[in-house]
A and B are shown apart, each in its own frame.
Chain A
């Protein structure tokens, strides 16, 4: 069976990280958007159209490419991982897969769907899955990254260990300490994780096998 090279997947993973940033760009940066009402059919290429049409597709693409990148990394390095690192890596990949499913669920509902009970249930289910994904991804990737740091793979190890934790800390600062991120939307939350994804892609691109 044909499988794409790690180099190709690495490139796609970098693209996934960039997509994650692109999908969370505050819409107002792209132009004015109505805020007092819900517009059903926004004009093409308007900020609202980008938010409704482009951003959800890009978000799903980002999640899928991230999953592909981490799967490729796991496949590439699993033989050289310690048993505990392999387990945590598997947990991290499962978490990312669940997160991808959650993204798809929430995106499939769309902004209108929340008004109907089925859509609201899908959003609730998506939120629950996203929470489960966070619970799995954070310890999974942190421990996976710690294994790389132990083997002197500093850039990859730091990216995997620090990226998800930094994202969680931003959420804690926002919700717990009331630090405001007005005007930049979800960018501060996604950016550290997206940077980690880019680092994973870069590593896959540069190294066909574990050096």
Chain B
């Protein structure tokens, strides 16, 4: 009978330990938290905007493709907090935050809490209207815990995913335009053309944006579906491409996104348990994969024309933000990475990426950091009393909401 020698045993243990540690550690050599040149304390509000920021951030990841990137010029030098207000935000069982991330359009900021959906003036944060409805609790989009579904804006409508179904409001006064209460919403609506794709208890549902009538239903799980070029991309255990008009399945791929899909330039970007994967939007075939070692989960990316931003999440080490070069049709190549503790990158605009990082909170420690696209220099950060949610980026402004429902607007000097 073969016997295991001590050398064999020790060798096996050493190899096992090495492989194990490799999968648990970060592949980013940077191990220090970024120190932005300017740190804005969200507790110091300076007053209303004199010049109102323009542009909009109508959905949690800006567009229907969930790219998180818009043609926007946020303040990048000498930012100051213009106003700050705290919404009534009772605790929500099972949700990581008591408020949703913000959306902004036409001079109004939209935030949902368990008390309802609030429309605030972008100029000074005063309440314009509120609609009492319990927002849907969705799967995680940035962390490990469930979240409250943010309002989504398109045209003159605000679409709410609620525990009772989908509600469309008139954006100017908050009155109800229509309700679709067949099934509770379980994810964030995505607006495309004249349609709406909503994850519900019945599955993924296509609704008419004008009147809310149900066009199709399909048994697909989703938290934040992406829509581009007439194709809906969503998925749980597998990723599927659906015809946005009929809901018919065009393709399926075995790649399982950990959070939500992102679609840009005919490619589906998926952060998976071990890779960042690129699929063809046409047929779901894999185009490339970024693999930095096993056991490192990748967040859903932010995709700009030049750069893919994602967060690498090792099992037993701190997260790191990665900026990857989009070079042709091949796999994106790492350009820079930065330690973020436990974090997410959710938006990019005008050569800057906006990352959330957790750790100690207070005036000295920024939890929202703006990195430059080329070298990952932290130009400014915003320190909040509680952990911030993904911000809304505007021309000349940034709107941020904390887990406890405090909304703050930052503008240039």
Contacts and interface: CB of A to CB of B under 8 A. Distances in A.
Interface stretch (A34-42, A63-71, A94-102): A34-42
Contact of A39 (B18, B21, B376): B376
Per DSSP, chain A at the interface is: loop
Given A34-B377, A38-B336, A40-B335, A115 B26 contact: yes
A39 B333 CA distance: 12
Contacts of B334: 40
Interface size class of A (residues with CB under 8 A): 10 to 19
B395 to A, nearest CB: 25
Given A39-B376, A118-B18, A34 B336 contact: yes
Interface string A105-140: 000000110111110000000000000000000000
Interface in A156-192: none
Contact of A36 (B22, B34, B293): B34
Contacts of B34: 36-37
B371 A117 contact: no
Given A34-B375, A116-B22, A117-B21, A39 B29 contact: no
Interface in B355-395: 371, 375-378
Contacts of A36: 34-36, 338, 371, 376-378
A111 B29 contact: yes
A7 B296 CA distance: 56
A111 B321 CA distance: 17
A114 B334 CA distance: 17
B26 A34 contact: no
Which of B21, B35, B375 is packed against the most chain A CB atoms within 10 Å? B375
Interface in B19-37: 21-22, 25-30, 34-36
Interface of B: 18, 21-22, 25-30, 34-36, 293, 321, 323, 333-338, 371, 375-378
Given A35-B377, A38-B28, 7 more contacts: A36-B338, A36-B376, A37-B30, A37-B377, A41-B333, A116-B22, A117-B21
Interface of A: 34-41, 111-112, 114-118
In the A-B complex, the 3 residue pairs with the smallest Cβ-Cβ separation, listed nearest first, are: A37-B376, A37-B338, A36-B34
25 contacts: A34-B375, A34-B377, A36-B34, A36-B35, A36-B371, A36-B377, A36-B378, A37-B321, A37-B338, A38-B28, A38-B30, A38-B376, A39-B335, A40-B333, A40-B335, A40-B336, A41-B335, A112-B29, A115-B26, A115-B27, A115-B29, A116-B22, A116-B293, A117-B18, A117-B22
